[in-house]
């Protein structure tokens, strides 16, 4: 056994292709994998034994991994570039065009540098004392790093508190944290052991991903020990230390894109998933649930509220006061098929709540246990857990028989009635007993060592059922819990938040943390889920905030039994209806961002500083954010505010969406923020696709419009905006169309061009004139470079130009 007095001494024992293997005299092993010019992986095996031979996270540029996991030595999908290797007396040095790794042979300590402007810049070093656990402490996996002054840490998924994680400690254990504080509660719902280190002064950074399934802890400088200097560390309860270093020079977004690519292609979900989704536990908990659900549609019609889907809470499964997955309560829903098709006739799809735990008195519990579908204890009995108001046992999704059972039940209990989607809920798999054993695809293991794997396999099984039922349609799924790779399957949200202004402010940061961790299709329970009903002002501000998030769902379980719904306050209903219509106006832009996420791994949301890393005034922990590269969004997160002050980043002009007023960057501006007008600014050089303004419940309008903010003087603003059928899988075969939008200007003239291209024929509802909106300050002569300029006139601070483009 290695001792503190005698750290292991390594020698390069093997080089095979892009894999290096360093071995010590005591049996410790360090493996180095040169995967890409900007990605290098290190695996540390203290006694040479591999404890975790498979991964479910690594899927470079692909849709998924094998069901039973990917072999960790499988390097398919990587470029495996040429690299240099120098063997020196005290170290080995590995270099790609972007990354240099120096490994000290005495102790195995690693030092990392990035190349910029033909020079190497040090960015990360192992702590000089006991960086790894070579048998010094226990069986857990540790990694200690030096902490440098001025470093910022971002990511780790949805964490409470500030976006910059420096000085904090986080426990990555998925739990059901209903009513959490968005400022202080830890842990929460998701397990994403990836974070970005950024040094603003040097404009250098890197991502670090620990490919681990076990519960783990990140200390980002909260702990201090005089014997070791300033440090931060990672510790996992089980498994091998296996981490990926991802270079991120010049912009923090580079590592986010590459991490997303590394862990799989984000799912392209149907466009209707961007619409308003109604939801509340109150309706399905009511004894006359089917009637209450019908009233929701009627109220949407009455108040002209656009709606595309409804999240059907678990009350539909009740027997008495408890909930039993895949059971329909026919007293509450006497005509299930009629109920579902009644919603579909109004263009509203249903997303049904499903849970992965069978209560001990579930009608199918005995059969599931007898067939080995449940996680068991070592004595063969069910591994009992607390679940809602009863005890039960989790289904074991590492058993192929369980996966088949789940797919069958999703199909027979939901899809055959016309249910369009699954809401995978309460899937944190809170398994604490060391005696609980998972099937492990034939290689049993203690279930608590990979709880998040069960979560991931559950959502995958739901997706597979939906694909099998409607193979030509894109699946739509939602999951509360998840881990690395969840973006391949589901849309998610920040769980059961507490109703308060503080939650509104910190949910914004939680969403950015997820987006900077590779998960972009996200949102929050608008209005707050748990606690008191939101007062009118808070409710409206929350709807404002949600209007530009990828997920838009008003959901609640208020303490006083009230329901968060668009018409909950007569004095705010018209404002809420207008905000929902505003969201539908922006759906083409949000859809474009999801397309860019799927095709190019771009985060939909991003901190302002990440888009403008050289502007020191773009606060990491401000209350603003970028929605894609074009929109600066500054929601109101404090009570009593009627205006909003926002810093406009340097290097661009900005145009108010509402007034059309143009502002130079590098200054603060204070803008009005009435209830139905969230502060949104459009960046110079942007093209933003929109729906036309006229939107109504009975007949949403899909005709296209474009905001174009051209550069001043000589220059061209261009964009390619996606169009497809919004629902099918035909996009995979290239059956899409694109708008080619261009504004080319000089001192006197601005030439506009709007053209259609692509394999998909331009659909009928997109034929005819196209609206182009220019800032009213645009004084140059407007001409149409292709098509015909039908009209132009000033309207609300903008210039509305109508161009007939033909077919």
Cis peptide before 187 (omega within 30 of 0): yes
Burial of 13 (0-12, 13-18, 19+ CB in 10 A): exposed
User: How many of the other CB atoms lie within 10 Å of CB of 773?
Assistant: 23
For residue 204, being part of any structural domain is answered with: yes
User: How many of the other CB atoms lie within 10 Å of CB of 725?
Assistant: 16
Considering just the CA atoms, what is the radius of gyration of the chain in Å?
Answer: 27
**Rounded to two decimals, what is the model's pTM?**
0.97
Distance CA 621, CA 132 (A): 32
For residue 512, being part of any structural domain is answered with: no
E strand or H helix at 86? strand 84-87
Domain coverage including residue 186? 10-262
CATH of the domain at 222: 2.60.40.1760
For residue 739, being part of any structural domain is answered with: yes
For residue 693, being part of any structural domain is answered with: no
For residue 775, being part of any structural domain is answered with: yes
pLDDT at position 699 is: 67
The CB-based long-range contact list for 732-738 (8 Å cut-off, 24+ gap) reads 734/759, 735/759, 735/760, 736/760, 737/761, 737/762
For residue 121, being part of any structural domain is answered with: yes
Sign of the dihedral defined by the CA atoms of residues 274, 61, 513, 458, in that order: positive
468 and 474 Cβ atoms separated by less than 8 Å: no
User: How many of the other CB atoms lie within 10 Å of CB of 276?
Assistant: 27
Helix (H, G, I), strand (E, B) or coil at 544: helix
Distance CA 743, CA 568 (A): 44
CATH of the domain at 789: 2.60.40.1180
Burial of 714 (0-12, 13-18, 19+ CB in 10 A): exposed
* Owner of token pair 């998701």: 190
Query: Which of 230, 246, 262 is the endpoint of a domain?
Result: 262
Residue 247 phi/psi, 5-degree rounding, is: -65, 145
For residue 56, being part of any structural domain is answered with: yes
DSSP-assigned letter for residue 9: B
For residue 177, being part of any structural domain is answered with: yes
Burial of 473 (0-12, 13-18, 19+ CB in 10 A): middle
Dihedral class, residue 339 (left if φ above 0, else alpha if ψ from -120 to 50, else beta)? alpha
Domain count, the chain: 2
Burial of 600 (0-12, 13-18, 19+ CB in 10 A): exposed
DSSP-assigned letter for residue 66: -
Query: Which of 213, 228, 262 is the endpoint of a domain?
Result: 262
Helix (H, G, I), strand (E, B) or coil at 327: coil
**What is the token pair recorded at 533?**
């009903």
82: Cβ contacts below 8 Å, ≥ 6 apart: none
pLDDT at position 744 is: 96
Distance CA 499, CA 404 (A): 39
Query: Which of 210, 231, 262 is the endpoint of a domain?
Result: 262
Intervals of the chain under pLDDT 70: 1-5, 698-700, 806-807
């Amino acid at each position: 056994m290695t001792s503190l007095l005698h750290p292991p001494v390594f020698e390069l024992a093997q080089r095979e292709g892009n894999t290096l293997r360093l071995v010590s005299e005591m049996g410790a092993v360090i493996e180095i994998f040169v995967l890409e010019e900007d990605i290098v992986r290190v695996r540390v095996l203290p006694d040479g034994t591999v404890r975790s031979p498979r991964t479910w996270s690594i899927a470079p540029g692909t849709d998924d991994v094998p069901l039973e996991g990917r072999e960790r030595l499988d390097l398919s999908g990587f470029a495996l570039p040429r690299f240099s290797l120098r063997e020196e007396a005290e170290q080995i040095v590995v270099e790609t065009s972007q990354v240099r790794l120096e490994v000290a042979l005495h102790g195995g300590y690693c030092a990392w540098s990035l190349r910029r402007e033909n020079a190497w810049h040090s960015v990360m070093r192992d702590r000089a004392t006991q960086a790894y656990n070579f048998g010094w402490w226990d069986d857990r996996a540790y990694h200690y790093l030096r902490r440098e002054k001025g470093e910022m840490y971002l990511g780790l998924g949805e964490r409470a508190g500030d976006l910059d994680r420096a000085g904090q400690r986080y426990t990555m254990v998925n739990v059901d944290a209903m009513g959490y504080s968005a400022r202080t509660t830890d842990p929460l719902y998701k397990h994403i052991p990836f974070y970005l280190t950024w040094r603003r002064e040097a404009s250098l950074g890197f991502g670090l991903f620990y490919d681990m399934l076990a519960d783990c802890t990140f200390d980002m400088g909260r702990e201090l020990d005089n014997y070791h200097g300033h440090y931060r560390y990672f510790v996992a309860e089980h498994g091998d230390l296996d981490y990926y270093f991802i270079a991120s020079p010049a912009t923090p977004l580079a590592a986010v894109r590459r991490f997303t690519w590394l862990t799989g292609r984000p799912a392209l979900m149907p466009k209707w998933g961007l619409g308003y989704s109604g939801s509340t536990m109150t309706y399905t908990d009511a004894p006359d649930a089917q009637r209450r659900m019908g009233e929701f549609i009627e109220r949407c019609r009455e108040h002209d509220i656009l709606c595309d889907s409804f999240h059907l809470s678990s009350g539909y499964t009740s027997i008495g006061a408890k909930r039993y997955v895949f059971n329909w309560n026919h007293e509450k829903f006497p005509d299930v098929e009629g109920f579902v098709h009644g919603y579909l006739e109004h263009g509203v799809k249903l997303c049904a709540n499903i849970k992965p735990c069978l209560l001990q008195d579930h009608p199918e519990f005995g059969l599931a246990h007898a067939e080995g579908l449940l996680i068991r204890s070592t004595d063969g009995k069910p591994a009992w857990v607390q679940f809602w108001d009863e005890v039960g046992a989790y289904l074991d999704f590492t058993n192929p028989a369980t996966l088949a059972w789940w797919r069958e039940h999703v199909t027979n209990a939901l899809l055959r009635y016309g249910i369009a989607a699954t809401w995978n809920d309460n899937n944190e798999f809170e398994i604490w007993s060391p005696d609980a054993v998972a099937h492990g695809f034939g290689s049993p293991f203690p279930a608590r060592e990979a709880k998040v794997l069960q979560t991931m396999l559950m959502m995958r099984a739901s997706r597979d059922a939906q694909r099998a039922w409607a193979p030509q349609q894109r699946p739509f799924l939602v999951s509360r819990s998840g881990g690395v790779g969840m973006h391949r399957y589901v849309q998610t949200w920040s769980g059961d938040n507490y109703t308060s202004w503080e939650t509104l402010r910190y949910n914004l940061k939680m969403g950015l943390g997820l987006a900077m961790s590779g998960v972009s299709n996200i949102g929050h329970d608008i209005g707050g889920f748990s606690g008191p009903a939101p007062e009118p002002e808070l409710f409206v501000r929350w709807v404002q905030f949600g209007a530009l998030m990828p997920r838009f769902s008003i959901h609640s379980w208020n303490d006083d039994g009230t329901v968060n719904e668009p018409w909950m306050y007569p004095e705010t209903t018209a404002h809420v209806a207008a905000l929902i219509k505003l969201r539908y106006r922006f759906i083409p832009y949000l859809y474009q961002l999801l397309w860019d996420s799927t095709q190019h791994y771009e985060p939909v949301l991003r901190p302002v500083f990440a888009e403008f890393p050289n502007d020191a005034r773009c606060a990491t922990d401000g209350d603003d954010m970028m929605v894609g590269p074009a929109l600066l969004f500054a929601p109101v997160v404090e009570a009593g505010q009627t205006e909003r002050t926002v810093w406009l980043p340097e290097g661009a002009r900005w145009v108010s969406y509402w007034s059309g007023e143009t502002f130079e960057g590098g200054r603060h501006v204070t803008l009005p923020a009435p209830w139905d007008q969230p502060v949104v600014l459009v960046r110079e050089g942007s093209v933003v696709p929109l729906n036309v303004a006229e939107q109504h419940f009975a007949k949403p309008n899909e005709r296209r419009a474009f905001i174009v903010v051209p550069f001043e003087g000589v220059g061209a603003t261009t964009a390619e905006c996606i169009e497809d059928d919004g629902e099918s899988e035909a996009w995979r075969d290239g059956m899409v169309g694109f708008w080619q939008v261009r504004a080319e200007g000089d001192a006197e003239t601005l030439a506009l061009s709007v053209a259609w291209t692509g394999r998909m024929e331009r659909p009928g509802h997109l034929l005819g004139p196209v609206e182009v909106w220019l800032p009213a300050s645009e004084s140059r002569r407007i001409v149409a470079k292709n098509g015909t300029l039908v009209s132009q006139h000033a309207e609300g601070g903008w210039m509305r130009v109508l161009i007939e483009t033909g077919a």
